[in-house]
Structure 1
Amino acid sequence: MKRLVGNAVFTALLGMTTLGASAGMSQAQAATVRDNVPSTYVVVSGDTLWDISGRFLREPWLWPEVWRANPQIKNPHLIYPGDRISLYYENGEPRLRLERGQGGVVKLSPSIRKIPKREAVPPIPLEKISAFLTDHRVVKPEEIEGVPYIVAGDDTRLISGAGDTIYARGQWGSYDTYSVYRKGDRYVDPDTQEFLGLEMVSIGDVKLERQEGDIGVMRVLSSNREILNGDLLLPADGGAITTSFQPQPPAEDTGGIILAAPDGLRNIGRNDIVALNRGSREGIEPGYVFGVERRGETIEDPVTGESITLPGEEGGLLMVFRIYEKVSYALVMQAGRPLSVGDKLLEPNG
């Protein structure tokens, strides 16, 4: 399963610096050029590094391999709208050069630099995953035992929104602001039946105004949908959120499947988000790229009448962006055909 990437860095920017290459990644995989590769490409607003690299490479996650990878280079050159990227060969290996400004030529180098988020081209469409970085979390049942829950709104209304007063009941801690969550999917491994976690979806934020016994009087600060009786109150998610990614195949075979499509999609396509039944326990890290094998169709044998399942086929690519202990979220980067819950995770072809 091992397909290792060199010491290059794939830069993601939300006002943050890039991540360094993972330890132990010493063997480089050669990138291959697409058949219909352009000689040059001018970067436009809305591009991502993944999309740009996909114009040149069969394996977009190997973008760093066509940089002039040199860990001694200290001056980075990130990519901006208006930059011109062109393909050339060095010792028979494909390389990319970048032309910027007054015709200056810059060879792309993996380095670290802080760049305003409004300028740099991100690695993936960050707007597609922003809600899952901030508004979704996966918890264990014991993490929500005894937490406060909504019991009523103004004039005992069942639905509340921003600016309203609501009432909650439960065990109160030292917090005065809470996020309102609603229970989502229960993640259960379909093979082992192990409970992997409970999805929680953020509804809004509230502030505790005063408390009488176990009843709290709260003001709704913001909401992205109606707050209902029974919704739970939790402190803000204190887990680490990564917004910089170094795309790379996993270091070993982790197995796994697409566990769920949190938006309830039946046909999963490019830029959709999926939950995987693998997490930090299995060594999954943000930036891991998986191939997906679509499940083969089950048909009836025309001769024997038996039900048989046809072999699976290559379906697309995923990149992991959020990790929990037993579950992770990934963004579908490519999908030749619709993917489905239950499709297998594989090493990405390259």
Structure 2
Amino acid sequence: MKNFSTRAASSLLVRSAAVAALVCATLAPAQAATNCTFRPNAPDQHRVVKGDTLWDISGTFLEHPWCWPQVWGMNRDEIRNPHWIYPGQIIYFDRAHGRLTLTRPGAPDANAGQPPLTRLSPQLRTEGMGPDGAVPSIPAAAIEPFLTQPLVVEAGALDATPRIAATQEERVWLGEGNRAYVRGDLRGATSFQVFRPGKQMIDPDTGKVAAWEAAFVGTVRVVSVAKPGVDVHTVEVTRSLQEMGVGDRLLPMPPAPVRNYVPHAPAQPVAGRVMAVPDEMINASQNQVVAVNRGSLDGLDVGAVLQLYHLGQTVTDPGSKGFLGFGKDKLRLPDEQIGELFIFRVFGHVSYGLIMQVTGPVRIGDVAKSPE
């Protein structure tokens, strides 16, 4: 998938001053949440080290790391009074109470003046690295480029987008500070992202166009809107990442991305397919981003977790009756689970997801559905 690359955006991450920080405290009993159980070999404690994520830490103790908000008794809307976890701290497994704590179990006066259970309020916030250093919920660097850049534009979204119709001084390509003329309805917006439509993305279920690849080429600002008798608006290039020119499309600058990632199962059953993998690759692996053919109109929201499966094949039953190989029964093999997908950006019928755990390669056409 051309232009759908985490590598291409890595240089942007180096310059980015934003990181995600984690909010957390004590676990509620694991038995309170369905399928959220502690691992039989869960350790008594874990020392947090630089590079840890909440997902990693939870996976040390839990069978399903994504369900930590449930086993920690967290209300998805409750994000006040945070307690930060930093490298060097120790998380203890209080086996007697089926919870995790930052206080060694059995320590004298460990709960003095505290309620029996302190709710954890996991939250991500955007701020400079500075001295904070709290561990993030998921690998923030892997998804940062996908939070604000178009990369995937849904079918139909192109129909009414403004486009660069001409350039000042008939320039072939535009750079920062150059001006261009745009035709189309700006709908009152003054800042735009500029992208170049690419190849079609086909929905594996329907065979129809679900979205278009889009190369993010830069940003522009409106200098002046079209006056009576003039057909175009004037814009100025404020940022140029690739060659920008006539025919490129404009989308309004998106609002600040949501970074309050609270993993949860979708509110309604969702069954979709992987529609795109990075670059021209055949497979995707852990901590890579893929696109699926389901979105907000299908029941997905930010933080939803889907299970990934290889689609079960249909094979011939060699033991069934037939003549010279003809007429034998066909067997539908079960889908094979290979990992989990964390949804972090959602459109109408398309979403981005970060592959969190995999036991095999993720391919276009693989099944992505609600946890069972």
Q: Same fold (TM over 0.5)?
A: yes
How far off is 1:258 after superposition? 1.1
Tell me which residue corresponds to 1:80.
86
SS of residue in 1 equivalent to 2:147: helix
Is residue 97 of structure 1 aligned with residue 101 of structure 2?
yes
How far off is 1:330 after superposition? 1.1
Is residue 29 of structure 1 aligned with residue 34 of structure 2?
yes
How far off is 1:59 after superposition? 0.5
Tell me which residue corresponds to 1:292.
308
How far off is 1:156 after superposition? 4.1
Supply the AA of the counterpart residue of 1:345.
A
How far off is 1:196 after superposition? 3.3
How far off is 1:322 after superposition? 1.3
Is residue 111 of structure 1 aligned with residue 121 of structure 2?
yes
Evaluate the alpha carbon distance shift between residue 337 and residue 235 of structure 1 in structure 2; reply closer, same or farther with a 3 A threshold.
Answer: same
SS of residue in 1 equivalent to 2:67: helix
Q: Which moved more, 1:327-336 or 1:220-229?
A: 220-229
Kindly tell me the number of residue pairs found equivalent between the two proteins: 323
Report if the CA contact (8 A) 2:21-2:135 is conserved. no
Q: For structure 1, which runs of at least 5 residues remain unmatched after alignment?
A: 1-12, 19-26
How far off is 1:77 after superposition? 2.2
Q: Structure 1: how far apart are the matches of 2:189 and 2:265?
A: 41
Pick from 183, 191, 208 the counterpart of residue 222 of structure 2.
208
Tell me which residue corresponds to 2:279.
263
Tell me which residue corresponds to 2:11.
none
Query: What does the per-residue CA deviation read over 1:99-136, in whole Å, with 9 as the maximum and x for residues that have no partner?
Result: 59xx9968763237897744332211122112221002
Q: Structure 1: how far apart are the matches of 2:80 and 2:246?
A: 55
How far off is 1:189 after superposition? 2.8
Evaluate the alpha carbon distance shift between residue 325 and residue 125 of structure 1 in structure 2; reply closer, same or farther with a 3 A threshold.
Answer: same
Tell me which residue corresponds to 1:230.
247
Report if the CA contact (8 A) 1:76-1:112 is conserved. yes
Evaluate the alpha carbon distance shift between residue 341 and residue 221 of structure 1 in structure 2; reply closer, same or farther with a 3 A threshold.
Answer: same
Query: What does the per-residue CA deviation read over 1:176-216, in whole Å, with 9 as the maximum and x for residues that have no partner?
Result: 43221121453443333454344544321123345773345
Report if the CA contact (8 A) 1:179-1:235 is conserved. yes
Percentage identity across aligned positions? 34
Evaluate the alpha carbon distance shift between residue 217 and residue 290 of structure 1 in structure 2; reply closer, same or farther with a 3 A threshold.
Answer: same
1:14-93 equivalences under 5 Å are: 14=20, 28-67=33-72, 75-91=81-97, 93=98
SS of residue in 1 equivalent to 2:56: helix
Q: For structure 2, which runs of at least 5 residues remain unmatched after alignment?
A: 1-18, 25-31, 112-116, 319-323
Provide the alpha-carbon RMSD of the alignment: 3.8
Query: What does the per-residue CA deviation read over 1:291-319, in whole Å, with 9 as the maximum and x for residues that have no partner?
Result: 11113467788883889775431111001
SS of residue in 2 equivalent to 1:256: strand
Tell me which residue corresponds to 1:24.
none
Q: Structure 1: how far apart are the matches of 2:160 and 2:80?
A: 50
Pick from 145, 156, 164 the counterpart of residue 149 of structure 1.
164
Evaluate the alpha carbon distance shift between residue 291 and residue 225 of structure 1 in structure 2; reply closer, same or farther with a 3 A threshold.
Answer: same
1:241-320 equivalences under 5 Å are: 241-261=257-277, 263-296=279-312, 304=325, 310-320=333-343
Evaluate the alpha carbon distance shift between residue 176 and residue 288 of structure 1 in structure 2; reply closer, same or farther with a 3 A threshold.
Answer: closer
